[in-house]
């Protein structure tokens, strides 16, 4: 690697600018459809989620915001906003993206925004409007929509009519937004629906974003693709067309596994990061970096710190890539030299640079080790453990 790429001023600037949002649901008890293993330290209230997020930010210096899921974190709707504001003031963690919940209510059994019943669609659209208002009140830029709608058997629903209903609902939602707000549209090929999903891939999300209005963008959840899909190519297209709104980062081996970022395929994360880093500063500012993981087996605090540190490492590696040289080699079609340069950046050891940055920013040199030493995990396990037996809800 050439000396210029290891310049500490540059690596400090890269790391200072890298922020990633963590999800409130990453601190709560969660499971699979086969069951849930309760952790004594899991957060059982919104106050505990804010406290955990603040601890992750203290350790990593990269997570100033926390994504909120409306039903789990503001069950009372906008009436709960004051409490969120108070917790935000107390912990220094800002409310992040607002996630409507269209998947838990019994009336959504056959769909929400795409339900054949106009009445159900109206209820779901009203929840979207509430989410827009909550985001306005909390000064949160992004409404991040994941739609679980779909069907399990061919012929049981009209795919085509549902497209129209969805377009109407998203247009209606977009109309209520102020100019500072954005609507991020997430896609997923299957689960919970197993035959067709109403927003199954980035093409559908893109077309829906276009018809919703100018402030709608696509959200890429890295776990929401078929195994062979080239995600960085999707990222390149969305960036090129100005339609990339943000990411839900996680890793997967088989399906939407919610595994720790980079635990299965760190090279893929690097490739995605390398693609993103071709964005202009303006474009970069408009990409929301978010984690979407809720760990079933790993301790939640440790998993979150591990994720953020991995993201920082891979982001820095991608930033160390000598782009000028790479372009030269690409233009010359010197395949081996281009690939070697790319791989060299991925395999570079950036631990020293990260430690130097942490020291300069008064962040613990080894955030994970510090978390283990700090006593935080034992403290929350003791304080929260007794309350866990009565836990029934997902988050």
- List of residues contacting ligand PSV (CB under 6 A): 25, 99, 146, 186, 188, 221, 248, 256, 292, 294
Least distance in angstroms from the C-beta of 146 to ligand PSV:
4
* Spatial contact of 224 and 186, defined as CB atoms under 8 Å apart: yes
Compare residues 136 and 294 and give the one whose CB is closer to ligand PSV. 294
Residue 165 interaction partner, one of ligand PSV, Mn ion, none, beta carbon < 5-8 Å per kind: none
Q: Is 198 in the site for Mn ion (CB under 5 A)?
A: no
* Spatial contact of 366 and 324, defined as CB atoms under 8 Å apart: no
Residue 99 interaction partner, one of ligand PSV, Mn ion, none, beta carbon < 5-8 Å per kind: ligand PSV
Compare residues 50 and 146 and give the one whose CB is closer to ligand PSV. 146
Compare residues 73 and 221 and give the one whose CB is closer to Mn ion. 221
Least distance in angstroms from the C-beta of 217 to Mn ion:
14
* Spatial contact of 330 and 341, defined as CB atoms under 8 Å apart: no
Sign for the pseudo-dihedral over CA of 231, 232, 238, 241:
negative
Piece in contact with Mn ion (CB under 5 A), picked from 59-67, 218-226, 311-319, 356-364 = 218-226
Least distance in angstroms from the C-beta of 329 to Mn ion:
36
Rg (CA), the chain: 21
CB proximity list for 61: less than 8 A, separation 6 or greater: 358, 361, 363
Q: What values do phi and psi take at 188, rounded to 5?
A: -165, 130
Piece in contact with Mn ion (CB under 5 A), picked from 56-64, 129-137, 237-245, 286-294 = 286-294
Compare residues 146 and 376 and give the one whose CB is closer to ligand PSV. 146
Residue 94 burial (10 A CB sphere; 0-12, 13-18, 19+): middle
Q: Which two tokens stand for residue 166?
A: 């969805």
Compare residues 99 and 306 and give the one whose CB is closer to ligand PSV. 99
> How far apart are alpha carbons 185 and 212 in whole angstroms?
10
Piece in contact with Mn ion (CB under 5 A), picked from 57-65, 156-164, 284-292, 312-320 = 284-292
CB proximity list for 359: less than 8 A, separation 6 or greater: 365
Least distance in angstroms from the C-beta of 256 to Mn ion:
8
Residue nearest to ligand PSV (CB): 146
Residue 313 interaction partner, one of ligand PSV, Mn ion, none, beta carbon < 5-8 Å per kind: none
Least distance in angstroms from the C-beta of 103 to ligand PSV:
8
Q: What values do phi and psi take at 256, rounded to 5?
A: -90, 75
Compare residues 11 and 151 and give the one whose CB is closer to ligand PSV. 151
Residue 256 interaction partner, one of ligand PSV, Mn ion, none, beta carbon < 5-8 Å per kind: ligand PSV
Compare residues 174 and 224 and give the one whose CB is closer to Mn ion. 224
Least distance in angstroms from the C-beta of 292 to ligand PSV:
5
Other beta carbons within 10 angstroms of residue 83's beta carbon come to: 15
Least distance in angstroms from the C-beta of 120 to ligand PSV:
20
> How far apart are alpha carbons 51 and 27 in whole angstroms?
10
Q: Is 292 in the site for Mn ion (CB under 5 A)?
A: yes
Q: Which two tokens stand for residue 265?
A: 């395929």
Piece in contact with Mn ion (CB under 5 A), picked from 1-9, 22-30, 229-237, 287-295 = 287-295
Q: Which two tokens stand for residue 255?
A: 């399906």
Piece in contact with Mn ion (CB under 5 A), picked from 11-19, 59-67, 203-211, 242-250 = 242-250
Least distance in angstroms from the C-beta of 145 to ligand PSV:
9
Q: Which two tokens stand for residue 321?
A: 């890539």
Beta strand spans in the chain (E): 22-23, 31-32, 35-36, 65-69, 94-99, 142-146, 150-151, 182-186, 196-197, 216-221, 244-249, 288-291
Q: Is 69 in the site for Mn ion (CB under 5 A)?
A: no
Least distance in angstroms from the C-beta of 47 to Mn ion:
24
Concatenated DSSP letters of 174-235: HHT--TT-EEEEE--SSSS-SSEETT-SHHHHHHHHHHH-TTEEEEEETTSS-TT--HHHHH
Kindly tell me which residue out of 57, 127, 217, 248 binds Mn ion, with binding defined by CB under 5 A. 248
Compare residues 204 and 328 and give the one whose CB is closer to ligand PSV. 204
The site for Mn ion (CB under 5 A) is made up of 221, 248, 292
């Amino acid at each position: 690697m050439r000396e210029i790429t290891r310049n500490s001023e540059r690596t400090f600037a890269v790391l200072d600018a890298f922020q990633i949002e963590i999800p409130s649901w990453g601190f709560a008890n969660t499971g699979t459809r086969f069951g849930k293993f309760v952790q004594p330290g899991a957060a059982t209230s919104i106050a505990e989620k804010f406290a955990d997020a603040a601890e992750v930010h203290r350790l990593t210096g990269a997570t100033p915001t926390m994504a909120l899921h409306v039903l789990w974190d503001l069950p009372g709707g906008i009436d709960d906003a004051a409490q969120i504001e108070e917790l935000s003031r107390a912990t220094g963690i800002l409310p992040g993206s607002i996630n409507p919940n269209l998947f838990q209510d019994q009336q959504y059994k056959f769909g929400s925004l795409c339900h054949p019943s106009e009445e159900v669609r109206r209820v779901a659209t009203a929840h979207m409007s509430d989410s827009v208002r909550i985001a306005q009140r909390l000064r949160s830029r992004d409404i991040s929509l994941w739609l679980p709608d779909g069907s399990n058997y061919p012929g049981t629903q009209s795919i085509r009519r549902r497209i129209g209903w969805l377009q109407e609902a998203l247009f209606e939602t977009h109309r209520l937004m102020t100019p500072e707000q954005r609507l991020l549209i997430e896609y997923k090929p299957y689960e919970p629906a197993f035959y067709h999903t109403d927003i199954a891939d980035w093409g559908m999300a893109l077309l829906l974003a276009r018809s919703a209005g100018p402030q709608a963008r696509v959200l890429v959840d890295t776990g929401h693709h078929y195994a062979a899909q080239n995600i960085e190519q999707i990222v390149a297209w969305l960036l090129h067309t100005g339609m990339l709104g943000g990411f839900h980062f996680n890793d997967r081996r088989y399906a939407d596994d919610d595994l720790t970022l980079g635990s299965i395929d760190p090279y893929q994360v690097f490739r995605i990061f390398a693609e993103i880093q071709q964005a202009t500063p303006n474009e970069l500012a408009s990409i929301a970096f978010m984690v979407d993981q809720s760990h079933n087996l790993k301790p939640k605090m440790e998993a979150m710190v591990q994720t953020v540190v991995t993201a920082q490492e891979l982001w820095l590696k991608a930033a160390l890539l000598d782009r000028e040289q790479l372009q030269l080699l690409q233009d010359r079609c010197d395949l081996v030299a281009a690939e070697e340069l790319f791989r060299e950046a991925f395999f570079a050891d950036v631990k020293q640079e990260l430690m130097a940055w942490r020291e300069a920013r008064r962040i613990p040199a080894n955030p994970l080790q510090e978390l283990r030493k700090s006593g935080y995990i034992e403290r929350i396990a003791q304080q929260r453990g007794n309350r866990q037996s009565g836990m029934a809800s997902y988050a």
